[in-house]
Amino acid sequence: MAEETILVIDDEPIQREALAGHLNNRGHSVLVADSGRSGIETLQHHLVDLILTDFRMPDMDGQEVLVAARKINPEIEVIIMTAFGTVDGAVDAMREGAYHYLEKPVDLDELGKVVDRALERHLLISENRLLKSQLRERTRSASLDGFDGIFDGIVSIAPAMEDVLNTVARSAPSRATVLVRGESGTGKELVARAIHAASPRCDRPFVAVNCAALNVNLIESELFGHEKGAYTGADQQRQGRFEQADGGTLFIDEVAEVPTEVQVKLLRVLQERTVERVGGNVPKEVDVRLISATHQNLTALVSQGLFREDLFYRLNVVSVLVPPLRERRQDIPLLIDHFLQRYNAENGKQISELSKEAMDLMMRHRYPGNVRELQNMIERAVVMTRGSVISKIDLPSGADDTEIESAADGDQVSPNSGSLPDQVEALERRAIEQALDGADGIQSRAAKYLGITERNLRYKLKKYGLK
């Protein structure tokens, strides 16, 4: 494996050389700069994986270094070093996308751990950028109608979403069933379409059905079709979604809504690869790759006797958990820019950006409706805005419903919520609890969502008394 290159920026010679020497001893290739401007010049001429920069310097502070570095390389990771009096500025830099901050004097053991995690994340993002490029090329070469921009729609730099993309890339070539889980509005169908588009079935039908949108009495007919006269109103023969998807992929959204009596028939189709229409008795062979999705906890439904255990295991061969937007806030600016471009084109507008106040609200909003809610907010703002910049008043009512949660009770964190270490620990504990909940208590999966090692997660569980 090639050495990772770290750029150390610090105007104090002793500190700069000490950090560079320590990182060299750990096997990293290290470049040094004595000022922010000098560091940016170095970045323009060298490939750098990680920047370790002091926050307070005469020419550029750490946040300015972050912004300038991201313009050169959007994927670069930045760690801020800060003295006690500049901690607030370092926290602001983290909101702008810095990976972490370390207080001076820097603890070298802690530095090593943070650097390792940052480089792991950088590598994962780089790998998945390549995967997405390959998947786009495959989709483009297949010339699929209706699939333009599928992978462009997966807009993310968040570690949890990179894990999703890894699963998409690795599961796509197979015919294994996939269960996509996540809250409403997180983009579960987009993930399903990505799997289909990257699969050998990409030139065959992708058929989607949302069981939550159907009358419960019609789900069986919708999935399996019916013969003429099968029930009152069935005045002609009709193919079901399985037959329509023959040779391709069937996406069953909100699969938890399938009635228990229909679950038996669904299981039989997966086992025997044949379907029988309602009112018929002639089995028909079908070659269908099934992807299902739900926002509900199927494991809990199984334990309550509301979902068949054998069907759950057949559906859950490959599991994908799409994280909610509140757990990938670093993606919000990217998504806003993505939707701005889309709705500018659709509405003949030339809106360039959001004002600072509007962006601050968007960054702090709770997003109970996830990416779909953000999309709708941007579409409305583009339609309603008269000028070239979306201001706070252009956002829909409710946009100021903001939330930065503490670990214990979900109250907003304010300047009076205790010392900064206490606030950071409260947020960290809350993030761990949410990750464990989303991972059904599986520690290895929760560690991936959090972007830390499983060993580090176990340490933190012990530290906070969590199980």
Distances (CA, A) of 333 to 117, 212, 353, 359, 384: 23, 31, 10, 8, 20
All residues at 6 or more sequence positions from 360 whose CB lies less than 8 Å from its CB, including other chains: none
pLDDT tops 60 at residue 195: yes
Distances (CA, A) of 431 to 121, 133, 193: 18, 31, 29
Distances (CA, A) of 135 to 106, 215, 292, 424, 458: 42, 36, 21, 38, 35
pLDDT tops 70 at residue 138: no
| pLDDT given at position 148 | 36
Mean pLDDT of the chain: 83
pLDDT tops 80 at residue 273: yes
For the stretch 311-351, pLDDT in tens is 999 999 999 999 999 888 888 888 898 899 999 999 999 99
> Kind of pairing, strands 289-294 and 249-253?
parallel
Tokens read off for 206: 């992708």
Residue 385's pLDDT band (cuts 50, 70, 90) = very high
User: DSSP class of residue 152?
Assistant: T
Calculate mean pLDDT across residues 386-411: 68
- Of residues 410 and 344, more confidence is placed in 344
| pLDDT given at position 417 | 45
Integer Cα distance of 372 and 234 in angstroms: 36
For the chain, give the percent of residues with pLDDT over 90. Answer: 42
- Of residues 142 and 251, more confidence is placed in 251
pLDDT tops 70 at residue 90: no
Residue 233: what are its φ and ψ, rounded to 5°?
100, -10
Tokens read off for 1: 């494996």
Hey, which residues does 296 pair with through a beta bridge? Answer: none
All residues at 6 or more sequence positions from 323 whose CB lies less than 8 Å from its CB, including other chains: 158, 160, 161, 164, 182, 186, 438, 449
Residue 456: what are its φ and ψ, rounded to 5°?
-65, -40
Among the ranges given (44-48, 130-134, 415-419, 463-467), the one the predictor scored with the smallest mean pLDDT: 415-419
pLDDT tops 80 at residue 210: yes
Integer Cα distance of 202 and 192 in angstroms: 12
DSSP 301-328: HHHTTSS-HHHHHHHTSEEEEPPPGGG-
Integer Cα distance of 19 and 358 in angstroms: 39
| Residue 79 one-letter amino acid | I
Integer Cα distance of 197 and 206 in angstroms: 9
Domains and CATH numbers, the chain: 5-106 (3.40.50.2300), 159-321 (3.40.50.300), 325-394 (1.10.8.60), 420-464 (1.10.10.60)
- Tokens 């890339």 belong to 169
Residue 425's pLDDT band (cuts 50, 70, 90) = confident
Distances (CA, A) of 64 to 25, 91, 390: 29, 14, 24
- Asked whether the bond before 205 is cis by omega within 30 degrees of 0, the reply is no
Which range has the top average pLDDT, 236-240, 290-294, 393-397? 290-294
Question: Can you give the pTM of this predicted structure?
Answer: 0.60
User: DSSP class of residue 50?
Assistant: E
Residue 106: what are its φ and ψ, rounded to 5°?
-70, 130
